Amino acid sequence: MAATITVVSEVANRRRSKRKDINKVGFMPWQFISAASLLTFGISVAFGLGFISTE
């Protein structure tokens, strides 16, 4: 799920940076969403592979 959110937010951030009308700004913090979901994905993978343990 986190990987999907990362991909979607990166696509949205790329679309926002290449917009034709510079005055049409959005309200979504796509860079923060991308960074947070990428961090979540990385931690999930680390738990799944056993690099991080809860014991």
Per-residue pLDDT of 4-53, as tens digits, reads 999 999 999 898 888 888 787 778 888 899 999 999 999 999 999 988 88
**Widest pairwise Cα distance in the chain:** 53
At 9 the pLDDT is: 93
At 7 the pLDDT is: 93
In 3D space, the residue among 47, 46, 37 whose CA is nearest the CA of residue 2 turns out to be: 37
Alpha helices in 1-55 (DSSP H): 2-17, 30-49
At 45 the pLDDT is: 93
DSSP, res 28: -
Residue length of the chain: 55
At 28 the pLDDT is: 86
Between these two residues, 45 and 54, which has the higher pLDDT value? 45
Q: What pTM did the predictor assign?
A: 0.75
d(CA 13, CA 34): 9
